[in-house]
Amino acid sequence: MDKLRLILESPRDFDEMSSVLQDKYVLTLTFNILSDLVTPNIRNSLVREFLSSWIINRFPRDILGSEYEAIPITLKLKEASNALINTYSQSKIPLNKFRKDLVHFNILFSEWKKYDYNEIVNNMFFKYHELGVDILNAPDENCKQILEECREEILKKSFKIGGQNLINEIKSFSPLVINVEELFQQNSKAFWDLTNDHFKENNFTEIFIILEHILELLGNLSPSRKDYFAPIIDIPFIRQQVEHKVFNKTDIETLATQIISILETIQAPIHDIETRKLQQNLNENGVYLPDFLKLVLENLATTAKEIFEMKEKLKDKKD
């Protein structure tokens, strides 16, 4: 075990670390060690994920991004890699703790891969449709051809990630047209005053209305992921917690963090800085739920408006 630790601690940069993790000897050595520590029937995927914890631990910005500390899932993954490696690095490894840390890292690693996939797909979607507008506004045929080639390249990458289904979704995506003025009719000062007054009295009537509205908007903006959103913003469960008076500050902060993570997969990448500031403010100052949900509605309305305007531009140019 000391041999593996020495090998994994020796690389001086990300490229060298990447090469080490692909070395057959390292893979075999790790397989044998985990077979002893966890189970003789260890999966190859778990071997690679254990090795991934080392590169995430040592070079987090290369793997998770330069602002990984501002994103809940990437920060948690980094912390999980720290815990796993610290446990493994003890002179006498506590087997139960090592196994728990490995499983915890494995779960977060899987969540992060889903998050990363959603972010990539989201970026492809917006870039594909933005290029469509750019093509219509291009000054000459040569410029149009270059932009068309860029658009085709996005579809090729989309096929590699999600096959023909993803290409079809990107090309035909048409969210329900949302009238932004109508959306915010209920968001009058009187409505929010009532929301605040009731919330202070632990009356969540308006909060549930807003959460239902947020779920509806998310489903309109990303129809293929409706079933993904509902268990995260689990309104029936939250309602039960409120009724039993166990929906506390920690639960509210957890809900807010989960909603922020969803927003980052829905919105255009240009808005990521705003969302990360929202998370940073939550981390530093906590969250007041009515104000937070109002910001979420504004964010979703902006995203809906951007998509609608993008499609209207394409439609007008073609007509």
Instruction: Look at the block and give the residue holding tokens 């006498």.
Output: 92
Same domain, 73 and 159: no
Same domain, 271 and 151: no
* Model confidence pLDDT, tens digit, residues 129-181: 667 766 766 778 888 888 888 888 888 877 776 778 778 777 765 544 444 45
Same domain, 216 and 287: yes
Tell me the C-alpha distance between 130 and 145, whole Å.
Answer: 15
Same domain, 140 and 190: no
**pLDDT of 179:** 46
Among candidate residues 62, 82, 111, the one where a domain is terminated: 111
* Model confidence pLDDT, tens digit, residues 89-100: 998 899 899 999
**pLDDT of 175:** 47
**Taking CA 76 as the corner, what is the angle to CA 72 and CA 105, rounded to the nearest 5 degrees?**
140
**pLDDT of 130:** 67
List strand residue ranges (DSSP E) for 71-214, in order: none
Same domain, 168 and 184: no
Among candidate residues 60, 80, 111, the one where a domain is terminated: 111
Same domain, 231 and 281: yes
Q: What range does the domain containing 287 cover?
A: 180-318
Nearest alpha carbon to residue 241 among 232, 251, 228: 251
- Provide the number of structural domains found in the chain: 3
Same domain, 104 and 140: no
Same domain, 196 and 235: yes
Which of the residues in the chain have pLDDT under 50?
A: 175-180, 183, 186
Tell me the C-alpha distance between 46 and 86, whole Å.
Answer: 18
Read off the pTM: 0.50
**pLDDT of 45:** 77
Same domain, 303 and 188: yes
Same domain, 273 and 293: yes
**pLDDT of 177:** 42
**pLDDT of 66:** 79
Same domain, 22 and 57: yes
Among candidate residues 62, 77, 111, the one where a domain is terminated: 111
Same domain, 187 and 312: yes
